Structure 1
């Protein structure tokens, strides 16, 4: 099948993050098996979502992973010009949810799979397709833990997030947490008889604002924009009515860290701030929602050189958003970002990719296969 036809199939599966994904997993697995590839379906702890690992070539030799996620963000925007879960072609453009982020790359990898099976690969190609990347890379850690049982540890990983087919060597890490403060309700005329959860949360928020301000003073990495780590309160909720003492307040907080800084370490002081409220009678919980490390691949790494040769474009030093690449690197696998499409088109109505972008990506992957066969 051509990459265009495969993309049409993939987009037709509404594999929204956080939802069961059996339909798209089964389709991809059946397709890969039909071409003689070895396929492992790995059910995640949620019980209704799976990762996929596909191998072409010798399992006992270190090879290359082509990594992508099968999930997409919801498509609830009102200004879609057509159904988001079907392809609408308009000239060179192919519209649909996930076309750029990142079913376009999955389609190219799957379209190249029959080419790989016909090559005398001396080193294997692995397709590693994950779930719930859009929820903070929740699915892929389970797959990464499984890889050493499936093959020799690969030494390279290409994460096909949309990059205009220009390789990217680094990205920031991220950690997100939810802080819950429980107080005691009552009539607002008697604040002495209640415990105001919102007032208590303000102490934590003040700590967050101060921490965010301090991060602007460094450490710095000029490859990123901004060149420092960051922290923000992204969501807050609490209270029922103005004349009721609020007994519950919840805040979601995230940190994004430059390479060499642990994202979780940036949020940890807020855990301490929440726990300090307990001496005043409040109940508090601190739940990590997601965490992944930064990516930092050396400018002279073999994978950097390989991607420069395959794409003909000088790799970009860094981007500020995150991907699964940092997790693969933390597992001892050199990783880089490179895929078709544009991140600026993602997560919005009328997302699209072009036929030329898909063709160029498939050609790049076929050339990678030829390198692994030489």
Structure 2
């Protein structure tokens, strides 16, 4: 059985593998597809058992192969104004529309559609396929897969993370941490706020701290820094708290993230944040009601991707794509996880990141075709 790249993309898009849901239907489809071509695969399950990573090897089990890495989850479509069904691949005006076409089922589809060709090719070095879950949730799924691969597959020469870069060879991205801060206050009627401790108002102070530190970073920016923006950012994206307008709130919590340029460490910012809480905010709260306080939870940590000196992955993809520019991105990927185990890694794939997470997400047909050409060159390269 064979499927064209577009047919494979249509199959993958039809799975609504939003990060908040299970991806097992999609993973079982991928596993069955590989099995139908004689390729055994390994599943690495989530702790809850409702999601899975998948990895597989095609070709000889020798060192020097290439890892092709993609994620299977997508972001939600609720609240977005789509003009076509997001779970049905739709062609219009030289574009293929559907949730995940760019981020990043387009790359996944190209890899899977070429499996029959990979199996038939006289590969001298292997191709390792790696498909993860929950990349959109701060890369929660990939760490267990990368550890399993490091323990079981021959050391690869390079890892290609196929996030959408329009085939620019991206050699660096920011590191990040995601935090959950819970503020415990003390509720009283708002007319006697002097006897209470407002969780919401103290949460507001902490959120303002994020913005103030980011403004400090912006003012001392290095003009030569290639990132956009060229400084470490601190951001609060969600806050919940309080019960009524005239009650001093007893509880509030919020999510924040810190995305650091390569010369800085987001964990150091987190420790600075905790020190501010311990030394400045909590003493004021506890002076009124000792039982109040603030807890900071590290939800996720995504390592950055650092440019390598004479990296094999960079050399390979420059040869295959013809790109000789210097490229870094501010968003995170799973690339740093592979690099952390000592594997040369770059980010390079079809599509434009500007389309990621958008209503009417699409990949240009020309970009999709270019992606197939690049992968076919890769297969040929591994036969030489």
Q: What TM-score, normalized by structure 2, do the two folds share?
A: 0.92
Whole-angstrom CA distance in 2 between matches of 1:348 and 1:120: 40
1:62-116 C-alpha deviation (Å, 9 max, x unpaired): 3111000000000114421111011112243111000011000000001121111
Residues 61 and 365 of structure 1: is their aligned pair in 2 closer, same or farther, counting only changes over 3 Å? same
- Asked whether 1:249 is paired with 2:249, we answer no
Whole-angstrom CA distance in 2 between matches of 1:103 and 1:190: 56
Q: What TM-score, normalized by structure 1, do the two folds share?
A: 0.95
Q: Which runs of 5+ in 1 are unaligned?
A: none
Select the residue among 264, 273, 292 that pairs with 2:302: 292
Whole-angstrom CA distance in 1 between matches of 2:224 and 2:233: 12
RMSD: 1.8
Helix, strand or coil: the match of 2:50? coil
Match of 2:371 in 1: 361
C-alpha deviation, 1:60, in angstroms: 3.7
Correspondences of 1:231-242 after superposition (within 5 Å) = 231-242=234-245
Whole-angstrom CA distance in 2 between matches of 1:220 and 1:333: 31
- Asked whether 1:268 is paired with 2:274, we answer no
8 A Cα contact 2:86 2:98, kept in partner: yes
8 A Cα contact 1:41 1:52, kept in partner: yes
Correspondences of 1:58-207 after superposition (within 5 Å) = 58-207=60-209
C-alpha deviation, 1:13, in angstroms: 0.2
C-alpha deviation, 1:185, in angstroms: 1.0
Residues 152 and 361 of structure 1: is their aligned pair in 2 closer, same or farther, counting only changes over 3 Å? same
Match of 2:59 in 1: 57
Q: Is 361-370 or 122-131 further displaced after alignment?
A: 361-370
8 A Cα contact 1:307 1:315, kept in partner: no
Q: Which runs of 5+ in 2 are unaligned?
A: none
1:324-367 C-alpha deviation (Å, 9 max, x unpaired): 11111112111111111111111111111133322221221121
Whole-angstrom CA distance in 1 between matches of 2:265 and 2:224: 14
Select the residue among 208, 214, 217 that pairs with 1:212: 214
1:244-291 C-alpha deviation (Å, 9 max, x unpaired): 011112122211111132222222222233345555121322111221
Whole-angstrom CA distance in 1 between matches of 2:90 and 2:69: 26
Whole-angstrom CA distance in 2 between matches of 1:54 and 1:248: 47
Match of 1:304 in 2: 314
Whole-angstrom CA distance in 1 between matches of 2:156 and 2:316: 15
Whole-angstrom CA distance in 2 between matches of 1:202 and 1:270: 14
Q: Is 99-108 or 356-365 further displaced after alignment?
A: 356-365
Whole-angstrom CA distance in 2 between matches of 1:115 and 1:299: 33
Whole-angstrom CA distance in 2 between matches of 1:179 and 1:347: 26
1:140-176 C-alpha deviation (Å, 9 max, x unpaired): 0111111123211223110111111222111111111
Match of 2:330 in 1: 320
Q: Is 47-56 or 312-321 further displaced after alignment?
A: 312-321
C-alpha deviation, 1:220, in angstroms: 7.1
C-alpha deviation, 1:221, in angstroms: 5.8
8 A Cα contact 1:7 1:104, kept in partner: yes
C-alpha deviation, 1:227, in angstroms: 1.9
Whole-angstrom CA distance in 1 between matches of 2:277 and 2:7: 52
Whole-angstrom CA distance in 1 between matches of 2:208 and 2:165: 37
Residues 102 and 363 of structure 1: is their aligned pair in 2 closer, same or farther, counting only changes over 3 Å? same
C-alpha deviation, 1:299, in angstroms: 6.3
Select the residue among 10, 13, 18 that pairs with 1:11: 13
C-alpha deviation, 1:218, in angstroms: 4.7
Whole-angstrom CA distance in 1 between matches of 2:253 and 2:202: 11
